[in-house]
Structure 1
Amino acid sequence: MFGVVAHFDQNTELYIKQVWKELSNNAVSKYAEEVQDRRPHITIAGYNSDLDIEQFISDFDYFYESKKQLSITMSSLGTFLNTGILFLAPVPSKEFLTFHDNHHSFFEKYRMNAESQYLPNNWMPHCTIANRLNDENLKEAMSYCAKRIERISATIVEVSIIKAIYENNTCIKSPSIHMKALGTV
């Protein structure tokens, strides 16, 4: 399984990692520790394992070569129903939605390999804060994060291709196999 993910500026990344650490220290969520190489991100696209990764990387470099950094604001918390996932949601600005749509338009030839929840009109952009939460921990995480997290003005500074590695149906690693820094505005 491969993913295309947007990574944040250093300050935003450190801020979210601190929240992950606090949730872990309070025995609410071990999200940050469950997967090696995990970084705060927003998933732009997901692709299954039979993706021609060499060709995809070549297309990825070409497409993202001229793309600029993107400012976003994350100002709400949410959960996907019946999942035990808590996330930060970015304001769905036209610029951000266009960034996502343009990715999927350019990579249309890979659509057969694409995961449907990341396609335009299905996508719910989010940055996961905690997952695999039982009802009690979800309430605790929601309460804690609603008080702890301030409105975040972030910049998407890089886009990466990650490879999710599973063991017993659980992701254990998600290394970046290719990265592209976005140009400054």
Structure 2
Amino acid sequence: MYGLIAIFDERTEELIKNIWKELKEKSISTYAYEVEDRKPHITLASYNSLNKKEFIEQMDITYKNQTVIDIKFNIIGSFLNSGALFFSPTVTKDLIEIHSNHHKDFERFNDNPNSLYLPDNWIPHCTIANRLSEDKLNEVFNYCSTRYSTILGKIVNVALIDVSEKHKAPIIHSIELKHDATLLS
């Protein structure tokens, strides 16, 4: 299994990692520590299997001129009957475009017609906690909704990860997105 993820700027990543750390210290959730080197992210796509060489070549072409995307998390949500809590970003034109362009350019790799990350199924989110009991879900919700306000950040990188091993999700290939000024030079 593989995922294509959008990775945040250092400040946003550290803020979310601090939330994960606080939830662990309060014995509410260990979600962030269940996978080695987990990074805060938004998943853009998932695949059961891949020709990694072809996929990486397509990544290099598709994301060569992709610019950094501003992101604003101002919603706390949960998928029904999931025990998951997430921060959901404001859905902007840029966020929709990176997602829809990815699926258009990588259509030949789609091997799961029921993927939750396909257009018309996708709910962009950054998971804060997962597999929680009803009590713990309420505890995380109350904690996050009173402790934090809007998080402003940026998507600065896209990365292909391998999620086939249970407690690992190594980055196979990543591409740093361009700042607008770098396109001018």
Cα contact 2:5–2:159 (8 A) shared by 1: yes
Distance 1:98 1:161 in 2: 18
Cα contact 1:45–1:114 (8 A) shared by 2: no
Residue 37 in structure 1 maps to residue 37 in structure 2: yes
Q: Which residue of 1 aligns with 2:2?
A: 2
Distance 2:164 2:36 in 1: 10
Q: Larger % of strand: which?
A: 1
Cα contact 1:46–1:115 (8 A) shared by 2: no
Deviations 1:18-43 (A, max 9, x none): 00000000000001110002000000
Letter in 2 for 1:87: F
Residue 19 in structure 1 maps to residue 14 in structure 2: no
Residue 173 in structure 1 maps to residue 172 in structure 2: no
Q: Which residue of 1 aligns with 2:183?
A: none
Aligned length in residues:
180
Q: Which residue of 2 aligns with 1:90?
A: 89
Distance 2:179 2:114 in 1: 30
Distance 2:168 2:61 in 1: 27
Distance 1:134 1:113 in 2: 29
Q: What's the offset of the Cα at 1:148? A: 1.4
| Shift >4 Å, 4+ stretches | none
Q: Which residue of 2 aligns with 1:154?
A: 153
Distance 1:102 1:16 in 2: 27
Distance 1:115 1:161 in 2: 20
Map of 1:111-130 to 2, 5 A cutoff?
Answer: 111-113=110-112, 116-130=115-129
TM-score (norm 1): 0.94
Q: What's the offset of the Cα at 1:152? A: 0.8
Percentage of pairs with the same residue: 44
Which shows bigger deviation, 53-62 or 11-20? 53-62
Q: What's the offset of the Cα at 1:146? A: 0.3
TM-score (norm 2): 0.94
Q: What's the offset of the Cα at 1:165? A: 3.0
Residue 182 in structure 1 maps to residue 177 in structure 2: yes
Q: Which runs of 5+ in 1 are unaligned?
A: none
Distance 1:115 1:181 in 2: 29
